[in-house]
Amino acid sequence: MADATIIDGKAFAAGLRARVADGVAALKASHGVTPGLAVVLVGEDAASQVYVRSKERALVELGMNSFDHHEPADMAESDLLALIDRLNADPAVHGILVQLPLPRHIDTQKVLARIVPEKDADGFHVVNAGLLATGQPGAIVPCTPLGSLLLIRDTLGRDLKGKRALVLGRSNIVGKPMAQLLLQADCTVTMAHSRTADLPAECRRADILVAAVGRPEMVRGDWIKPGATVIDVGINRVPAVGINRVAAAEPGKTRLVGDVAFDEAVKVAGAITPVPGGVGPMTIACLMLNTLAAACRAAGAPVPE
């Protein structure tokens, strides 16, 4: 059997970003509105700083306003809530993103709940989760599952009806919304997690397998149905030589791997996303899309698809 098609998330995301840039220019021309996203980072977490910088860079590249709020790690919860209130009230701010994880002394759910649902660019607010779960229009959908769905549709076509989908992982930010999206697309959806019995057998039934567990290379090649579409959401940093290779790792050097053992899976799957360069670039592109959509709704302009 020929190797799987490699799903080029980087190229697809570049195309999506170009479409968002066109939408931003059109909204400026038609309504005089520049979409703006407020990015709130509390503390010095190194990974969060990298993510936040790339989000801020993308906003500027696409012609949007980036309102950056980099706050100290000891910021009081009440001060963070007051900042959210100010951003909620600011008409130039169409989306608000609070970078997670927050320092331990801050109640994450309380902070996310404070963002008005219309400005919840990440789609984590319970109102948006509820709109998605009940299949109502206007839900802001979390960026990673939205990006994953766009890649699945680009690979298999818009019509996914009747396909068996398995979502591995049930987090509120990836697994659950991913399952909701696939359900809305008329797939037959199974959700698997750490208590699932005979996980390999569950996976082998899936025409579409989305892995979002955060366990390096957990999904093996023989867990995959021949010809399946495999979306690897996982981002795991491991010693440079890799966890499945015999040679000793070079001290200090690391590389990124997904939740799927790519070298094995590529021989079995029909199509597969690489890590990096698969789902990752789609997440930021979809954040840009969500911000543009929020600005369009606020301005009463048509919302881009």
Q: Which residues bind ligand NDP (CB under 6 A)?
A: 144, 168-171, 173-175, 193-195, 199, 212-215, 233-236, 279-280, 283
Strands of the sheet with 208-211, listed across from one edge: 5-6, 271-272, 229-232, 208-211, 164-168, 188-192
Nearer to ligand NDP, 25 or 47 (CB): 47
Q: Residues with catalytic annotation?
A: 55, 99, 122
Check whether 171 is labelled as a binding-site residue: yes
In the DSSP assignment, the letter for residue 221 is G
Which phi and psi (to 5°) does residue 102 adopt?
-90, 155
Check whether 195 is labelled as a binding-site residue: no
Nearer to ligand NDP, 101 or 138 (CB): 101
Query: How are beta strands 254-257 and 236-239 bridged, if at all?
Result: antiparallel
- What's the rounded Cα separation, in Å, for the pair 148 and 160? 13
Check whether 169 is labelled as a binding-site residue: yes
Check whether 54 is labelled as a binding-site residue: no
- Closest CB 59 distance from ligand NDP, rounded Å: 17
Percent helix, percent strand, percent coil in the chain, to nearest 5: 40, 15, 40
Which tokens go with 7?
Answer: 């799903």
- Closest CB 212 distance from ligand NDP, rounded Å: 4
- Closest CB 301 distance from ligand NDP, rounded Å: 28
Annotated binding site for NADP(+): 169-171, 235
